Amino acid sequence: DVKVTQSSRYLVKRTGEKVFLECVQDMDHENMFWYRQDPGLGLRLIYFSYDVKMKEKGDIPEGYSVSREKKERFSLILESASTNQTSMYLCASTLSRLAQWSSTDTQYFGPGTRLTVL
């Protein structure tokens, strides 16, 4: 079974702090994604990566950066956390290199990190 793990389930930070969210997948997947999930808005893509050291902006990249130094690990960085970044953050991965999701591939999600910024 594919396993996607995230470093923390719950995290509380203060405004202005630098925050690192880590995601690791164990199935040699090419693509990795970071989403945030807010009530009534669904999941929104922040950034994704299709290869080591490669990154692409998603729909809401402002205020975030990412790092992918190893294939299995994809980090989301909040350079200076703000209260509007309080959210559930979900990491996902797919085997395929095709766009974001081929018709035969599926995304495997991590358990999520609920971040609160005070």
Partner 1 sequence: KNEVEQSPQNLTAQEGEFITINCSYSVGISALHWLQQHPGGGIVSLFMLSSGKKKHGRLIATINIQEKHSSLHITASHPRDSAVYICAVKDYDKVIFGPGTSLSVIP
The answer for 24, left when phi > 0, alpha when psi is -120 to 50, beta otherwise, is beta
Give the shortest CB-12-to-partner 1 separation in angstroms.
16
At 83, give phi and psi (nearest 5°): -60, -30
Give the shortest CB-63-to-partner 1 separation in angstroms.
20
Stated length of the chain: 118
Residues that bind partner 1 (CB under 8 A): 9, 40-45, 59, 88, 90, 92, 99-104, 106-112, 114
Q: Which amino acid is at 20?
A: F
Output 40 or 69, the one with its CB closest to partner 1.
40
Give the shortest CB-111-to-partner 1 separation in angstroms.
5
The HSE-up count of residue 49 (CA atoms within 13 Å, CB side) is 25
Output 42 or 62, the one with its CB closest to partner 1.
42
Output 1 or 70, the one with its CB closest to partner 1.
1
Pairing state between β 19-25 and 73-78 = antiparallel
